[in-house]
Chain A
Amino acid sequence: MADYTKMWTELGLDLDNHDALLENLGGAYQSIFMSQEKRPEGMGYFDFVMSEAHGLRIQELRDEQEAGRKIIGSFCVFVPEELVLAAGCTSVGLCAGADFAQEEVEKVLPRNTCSLIKSFFGFKLGKVCPYMEASDLIVGENTCDGKKKSFETFSQLVPNFYQMDLPQNKAPMARKLLKHEYMAFVAKLEEMTGKSISLEDLKQGIATVNAKRNALARLSKLRSADPSPISGLDALLINQIAFLDNPARFTEKVNVLCDELELFVKENKGVKAVKAPRVVISGCPMAIPNWKVPAIIESTGAVIVGEESCIGERGQRNTTDDSSDTLDGLIDAVVDRYFKIDCAVFTPNQERVEHIKEMAKNTNADGVIHYGLQFCQPYIMESFSVEKILEKDGVSVLRLETDYSQEDMGQLSTRVEAFVEIIK
């Protein structure tokens, strides 16, 4: 990697902390990803992106800024990338997947807060996330109580915070609220860039994002083959990178990989043995570098064939209808697309269980592992009904509750291994 010290200093990163983080990440990446056998060649690109996630990609973002583009950082799949692109801005995901500077975090947040929230606070307080520091605007959304309350504190830590309200049910009024919020977001983007979004801009934005989602859907579909042509870890990585990379380039590379995987499927080539136990992961988002549970699952010889998660299916399912020829009509289409997201903060949320069932069926899964972050009420509460309903349908479910620490590796391994023995 080139020397980016100057850039990191300019961004205001704490270089010692940052080195520590990169070292950790690099080590984990080597042992978890590079040690996998029979990886497709197309993964080379994603390995490269990961290795340059704090380097070249940040350089690119800074070059874009130089040329007048704004960088919009967000924590949730409810912040529409279509609108961001239409305004001539670039969208990056900030959701963080590792513990950092926890002592600092616990000065401002209760200990019993989910790891995900603590993590983005830690990244800010430890000054280690170049995406956060490079963002011209950070969008926080009112989803779970943990996030929306923590944003009150977070907004004091960053100079460029924007809060978006979100509905929590699927009533007609709720859809109106979502539209209202998206219009306000558009206004904010327009104010920042000093120009208004045209019909053409939004068409273009939608086209770019639809293409990305179609490529990811193509990847998902290929995983239903037995043997699966790609490991769950690699597929998760791609889904994680979807939030960081340039969307057009990313789409192209996913499609290149899919071409290769199609050949694999034709030749019955797979990453794991034929008839390896197949698992769908469902639940909380898994942001980079949260690879703990997937790594444990695949180390048992099982293969993950789908992620019912915001970093995965939930975030990428459904495209936006681009047929309208009025701007308002297109915004409506965007609202419709996002209104279908079945995040556990919605109540009731029957669609999610249906989606999990459907995924388990389409991927020929033998079981579902429900992943919940400790103290995440929405997902953990929902995990009980998910378990009940799926089991009634004959699908085995294992509920896991964990955080970003490594303390419970032994316990988790035993649970996962025993579950894999059951579904074999």
Chain B
Amino acid sequence: MRHAGIDIGSRSIELVVIEEGKVIVRKQAESGYNPVERVEELIADISFDKVMATGYGRASLEIAFDYSTVTEIKAYGIGAAALHPGIRGILDIGGQDTKVISLNENGKVFKFEMNDKCAAGTGKFLEMMAVTLGYKQETFGLEALKGQEGIEINSMCAVFAESEVTSLLAKGCQRADIAMAIHQSVCRRAVGMIKRQDLKAPMLFAGGVANNSCMIHLLQQTFGDDIVIPESPQFVGAYGAAILAGSL
């Protein structure tokens, strides 16, 4: 039996297929303007018996293909617990939102928090700042690590932060230092959410932003070994959905 999970997010779509508990397919695509079509392309040459959709666009797949759906909160919980048994908390920074999820001893979600409508502290925020500073998405974290700590970005609103960055540049601040400051401000917000919800260790850092080495570095500064980085952090939700597909 092959079970597929599709996590359809605002920025990217992830597909995971498992067979006998082993991951046999892992694919990713950008969501673009027609995510349903993207999904069709993604699964075109892939076979599976059961499928479960999750993520922000799950309802569109339910409508288009009558897929069963589950919220990303539960999918992340299931995925994280399967990847790292004993995990008690999840920080998920995705393209459009940031979530903090608490799991009990049995790996079951019992509490979660999500950011509000705006882009503050999400992957989108980092993306916009990278553009302002002229960095490439993929290397933004690495470049930021070269920066010195010391500058502060005060605004969490992407629009205001952008003008803050511009004026720092005008003042002659180093690009890398500003990049560091931006990562610190996103990290501060994530740490705030984690502390507010009193997340227990160990915690898993999932979602696309968990590939960013500066964010990893900063979170480890605060939480040390209590924060675990999975191998493919952006696939945790799709993996969880694939597992859940098995119980359909």
A interface residues (Cβ-Cβ under 8 A, vs B): 396, 407-408, 410-411, 413-415, 417-418, 421-422
With a CB–CB cut-off of 8 A, which chain B residues contact A407? 117
Interface size, chain B (Cβ < 8 Å): 16
| B94-150 contacts to A (CB < 8 Å) | 97, 108-112, 114, 116-117
Q: In the bound complex, do residue A422 and residue B110 qualify as a contact, i.e. CB atoms below 8 Å apart?
A: yes
Given A413-B59, A418-B109: 7 more A-B contacts, CB < 8 Å? A418-B71, A421-B70, A421-B74, A421-B109, A422-B108, A422-B110, A422-B111
Once the chains bind, are A411 and B110 in contact (CB under 8 Å)? no
Q: How far is the CA of A413 from the CA of B69 in the complex (A)?
A: 13
In whole angstroms, how far apart are the Cα atoms of A268 and B73 in the complex?
Answer: 33
A414 touches B71 (CB 8 A): yes
Q: Cβ of B73: which chain A residues have Cβ within 8 Å of it?
A: 414, 418, 421
**B110 and A410: CB pair below 8 A?**
no
CB distance from A422 to the nearest CB of B (A): 6
Residue from the set A396, A410, A418 with the largest chain B CB neighbour count within 10 Å: A418
Residue of A nearest to B70 (CB): A421
Q: Is B72 on the interface with A (CB-CB < 8 A)?
A: yes
Q: Within residues 66 to 89 of chain B, which ones have a CB less than 8 A from any CB in chain A?
A: 70-74
Total A-B contacts with CB atoms under 8 angstroms apart: 33
Query: How would residues 192 to 236 of chain B score, 1 for a CB under 8 Å from any chain A CB and 0 otherwise?
Result: 000000000000000000000000000000000000000000000
Residue in A407, A411, A414 with the greatest tally of chain B CB atoms within 10 Å: A414
Closest B residue to A423 using CB positions: B110
Shortest distance in angstroms between A391's beta carbon and chain B's nearest beta carbon?
8
A413 to B109 CA separation, bound complex (whole angstroms): 17
Identify which of A396, A408, A414, A422 contacts B72 (C-beta below 8 A).
A414
Give the Cβ gap from A180 to chain B, nearest Cβ, in Å.
Answer: 43
- Scoring B56, B97, B112 by chain A CB atoms within 10 A of each residue's CB, the highest score goes to B112
Contact pick for A418, options B56, B74, B97, B117, CB 8 Å: B74
A415 to B108, CA, bound (A): 16
Cα of A418 to Cα of B112 in the assembled complex, Å: 9
Those of B37-80 within 8 Å (CB) of chain A: 56, 59, 70-74
- In angstroms, Cα B237 to Cα A418, docked, is 14
CA distance A414 to B7 in the complex (A): 14
For B117, what are the chain A residues with a Cβ–Cβ distance below 8 Å? 407-408, 411
B60 to chain A, nearest CB (A): 11
**In the assembled complex, which residues on chain A have CB atoms less than 8 Å from the CB atom of B114?**
411, 414-415
Q: A407-B117, A410-B56, A414-B56 are in contact. Are A396 and B71 (CB under 8 A)?
A: no
User: What's the least CB distance linking A206 to chain B, in Å?
Assistant: 45
Complex: A408 Cα to B115 Cα, angstroms: 12
Q: Which B residues are CB-close (under 8 A) to A417?
A: 71
**What separation, in Å, do the CA atoms of A422 and B108 have in the docked complex?**
8
A407–B59 CA distance with the chains assembled, in angstroms: 16
* A424: nearest chain-B partner, CB-CB: B74
Q: How far is A411 from B112 in the complex, measured between Cα atoms in Å? A: 13
**Could you tell me the distance between the alpha carbons of A415 and B70 in the complex, rounded to whole angstroms?**
12
Note all chain B residues with C-beta closer than 8 A to A418. Answer: 71-74, 109, 112
Which residues from A are CB-within-8-Å of B56?
410, 414
In the complex, chain B residues whose CB is within 8 Å of the CB of A408: 117
